[in-house]
A and B are shown apart, each in its own frame.
Chain A
Amino acid sequence: DAKTTQPTSMDCAEGRAANLPCNHSTISGNEYVYWYRQIHSQGPQYIIHGLKNNETNEMASLIITEDRKSSTLILPHATLRDTAVYYCIAGSGGSNYKLTFGKGTLLTVNP
């Protein structure tokens, strides 16, 4: 799996958009970008994934640069319940069953 780099922590005001960056400059052509989050003392939760096109679901949007070397997870209207550690993972389909977690970004949503 390609190595990913994320900021250690970020703050966001409640109701504003939270933009979480991830660098994956060594990602290979068949590797996807996955995002998971972990709220304190709970198991990680899947958010979204993509290959090269931008993706959106009910939780978030994923913007992947054209060269695929970086991506941004967007939570459009952050709430206090979105406070969590967010993990960006780059991996191929088969290795989806072997998620390689980094340190992630601690997002704190402030009232």
Chain B
Amino acid sequence: KAGVTQTPRYLIKTRGQQVTLSCSPISGHRSVSWYQQTPGQGLQFLFEYFSETQRNKGNFPGRFSGRQFSNSRSEMNVSTLELGDSALYLCASSSNSPGPNTEAFFGQGTRLTVV
């Protein structure tokens, strides 16, 4: 079956602009998580959605937001972009079954560059 699809793969934006990234999870998966990866901070959790509800949120400013649609597809939005927002943004999906025996499947990521 198809894996996690993130679009676009690469993006260049200017400071102050906003950006929307998209993630299509594996078919049947209802949990979608977002992560930011930078050389300095590594992989950091942004937020997680399950059945259109945000269940977990990481320690990021309010400029970072997300949503999930009824078909489980998810988008994340970053407003008023800063140079420090340049990063690889990764999306992961997990199956319907909550609990420890659930693995997360990651997409290839969206490489955002803010200039």
Contacts and interface: CB of A to CB of B under 8 A. Distances in A.
A46 B105 contact: yes
Main secondary structure, interface of A, reads loop
B109 A43 contact: yes
B108 A43 contact: yes
Nearest to A100: B45
Interface residues of B, number: 28
A44 B105 CA distance: 8
A77 B101 CA distance: 26
Interface in B44-86: 44-45, 48, 50, 55-56, 58
Interface residues on A, range: 20 to 34
Given A42-B108, A46-B105, A99 B45 contact: yes
Interface of B: 4, 31, 33, 35, 42-45, 48, 50, 55-56, 58, 90, 92, 94, 98-109
What are the nearest 5 A-B pairs in CB distance?
A: A43-B106, A93-B100, A101-B43, A46-B103, A93-B99
